[in-house]
Amino acid sequence: MVRVDAPDNGQPIIRARGLDKKYHRGEEEIDVLRGLNLDVEAGEFVAFMGPSGSGKTTLLNLLGGLDLPSAGTIEVAGTDLSRLSRRQRAAWRARHVGFVFQVYNLVPVLTAFRNVELPLLLTSLSRTERRTRAETALRIVGLEHRMRHFPRQLSGGEEQRVALARAIVADPAVLLCDEPTGDLDRGAADTVLEILSLLASEHGTTVLMVTHDPRATERATTTLHLDKGILVGDPERHSRDGADA
């Protein structure tokens, strides 16, 4: 269960307290996030909705260690991100976090298999171990039969599934998805959402997704709404059966 204002007990995989994020545009100070509190349990699939500029992507960037808050604390997978240097955060992300964006960002001259294997080249895994992991990730997203194809030979939905396989190949505890179905048709979007749901329910991956699509939230177990940097209203919780129907 996701708790927007949780008590200080238990061991959620994500714990944010008093989260503020400010940017400066010339002399103007812009409050993007304001006093945000959030706990997420391991294995949850959480969707964030809200108007453009409400702070959804900023929140994902902070939870993934891509940026630091102006105030407040973030703990993810037992690590206080504010205590890490830039280099330490990069190493931490490689071990614990996977990212999926609206733009697939595949390397066009590499096959699907090589694109998925790419993050593992920075690890100490053997060639055999890298192959096993990449093939497993492609099998999870249903593309083991397309692993030798290049991005130009794949549909948009297949490209996004390759990007998803690349994001999970290192077995991250947390998967952060920013509009992962924004460029897909309904059928391809439903396939990607089904995979995200299965990653949470069957593999224990914690999935956080920013979306503008109300139908996408049907796959999540909880939907949270952001408005002007504040979480508003009660969380909308959905049963697993309802999400997977």
pLDDT of 29: 86
pLDDT of 118: 95
pLDDT of 10: 55
pLDDT of 236: 78
Which residues lie closer than 8 Å to 65 by C-beta, 6 or more apart? 76, 81, 84, 89, 90, 92, 93, 97
- Measured between alpha carbons, how far is 126 from 151 in angstroms, rounded to an integer? 25
pLDDT of 27: 80
pLDDT of 226: 94
pLDDT of 237: 75
Which helix or strand (DSSP H or E) is residue 34 part of? strand 28-40
pLDDT of 28: 83
pLDDT of 244: 42
Name the residue ranges covered by the structural domains of the chain: 43-68+85-244
pLDDT of 243: 44
Please give the average pLDDT of every successive group of 10 residues along the chain, which has 245 residues.
45 94 86 94 95 92 94 94 93 93 94 96 93 97 96 96 96 95 93 95 95 90 93 74 44
Neighbours of 175 (CB within 10 A): 24
Q: Are strands 222-227 and 45-49 parallel, antiparallel or unpaired?
A: parallel
In tens, the pLDDT along 105-130 reads 999 999 999 999 999 998 899 999 99
pLDDT of 241: 53
pTM of the full predicted structure? 0.89
In tens, the pLDDT along 161-171 reads 999 999 999 99
pLDDT of 7: 41
Phi, psi of 14 (to 5 degrees): -125, 130
Domain 43-68+85-244 listed as CATH 3.90.1300.10: no
